[in-house]
Amino acid sequence: MGAYDTEIDGLAATARAALVREIDADGAWAGDPVWREAFAAVPRHLFVPYYYVAGQRGQERRWGQSIDPEARRRWVRGAYADAPLATRLRDGELLSSSSQPSLMAQMLAALEVEEGHRVLEVGAGTGYNAALLAHRLGDDLVTTIDLEPEITESARQHLSAAGYHPVVVTGDGARGVPERAPFDRIIATCALPTVPRAWIGQCRPGARILTPLATGLLALTVRDAAHAEGRFLDTPAYFVPLRGEARAEPEGVSLAGLPDRAREQDLFRFLAALVRGTLDPREAYALWEREGEPGRGRYGVTVAGERAWAWLDDPEGPYLWPLR
């Protein structure tokens, strides 16, 4: 196994350096280059000992312990591709994945962490994102949570193998982790239908919450234990839905009867998902055209006590839509 380990380590180091150069060229962490060091140091292949890719006969598993040397090489090269990797399937349904590294880099830079910040990650997945956070901040300041014991146990093992030991919690991420609060930053790597009030209550004033919502990334600033507000980033984002009490519904919205252009426009589909249940797709499309086809960055969300609403341009209106 010694020669095998040496070859895999060499391939991994080369592939990891290439991935860092690729993300660097895209400018994902231009605002915070310290993340470059984290991506260069944390070995992603240790967090994906196997993963699934689409093949001619359905989902093909790539495995780091395959008896075929070329299969092992494909596995390690794929582990450093700038692509999401499906890591857990159940009856054909995707339960967990390792997100696209360049998107992870954008999200971590947008989180705007500083030394000494306490961070909660909702959606432990493979543990890779928690390792990047722990590399930057230290183990004691990072908490990650997932609902499935299998996921948290494997994440804990992956983290340990890579030399990181943040706190890994099994539980409903929508409820946060009150025993580890207060947090300065919360980052979610799973899609939700709204912003859980528990998160806001577990944050310090001035904290930042970054969460996927309606195929976008929402960045909220917390004012106090009951109030938060912020806008979406311009970046599109598609994540596995949260499982638990506040689980997200499928993001698909029927656009039957609308012009072909509506079905092809990612920015319109974002709006249709955001206002689903409040505006029908025809009303949403008319608004989108009338307002000059706004991008994600013109939308925002306000949470005030038990109320939460999405808005276009101004949290006071005229375009307001309650979040479920």
Question: Per-residue confidence at 251, pLDDT binned at 50, 70, 90?
Answer: low
Q: Is the pLDDT of residue 250 over 50?
A: no
pLDDT tens per residue, range 211-233: 999 999 999 999 999 999 999 99
Q: Which residue has the tokens 């699934």?
A: 52
Residues known to be catalytic: 96
End-to-end C-alpha distance for the chain, whole angstroms: 54
pLDDT tens per residue, range 121-163: 999 999 999 999 999 999 999 999 999 999 999 999 999 999 9
pLDDT tens per residue, range 255-275: 777 888 877 788 999 999 999
Q: Is the pLDDT of residue 203 over 80?
A: yes
Within 10 A of 298 (CB to CB), how many other CB atoms are there? 18
What's the pLDDT at 155?
Answer: 96
Backbone angles phi, psi at 234, to 5 degrees: -75, -15
From the candidate CATH numbers 3.40.50.300, 3.60.15.10, 3.40.50.1450, 3.40.50.150, the one assigned to the domain spanning 2-232: 3.40.50.150
Dihedral (C-alpha) 254, 94, 237, 46: value to the nearest 10 degrees?
A: -170
Question: Per-residue confidence at 164, pLDDT binned at 50, 70, 90?
Answer: very high
Backbone angles phi, psi at 17, to 5 degrees: -65, -40
Angle ∠(307,310,314) on CA atoms, nearest 5? 110
State the average pLDDT for the chain: 90
pLDDT tens per residue, range 62-121: 888 888 889 899 999 999 999 999 888 877 677 778 999 999 999 999 999 999 999 999
Q: Do you know the residue count of the chain?
A: 324
Beta bridge partners of 211: 218
The pTM for the full model equals 0.92
Q: Is the pLDDT of residue 287 over 60?
A: yes
Residue spans of the domains in the chain: they are 2-232, 260-322
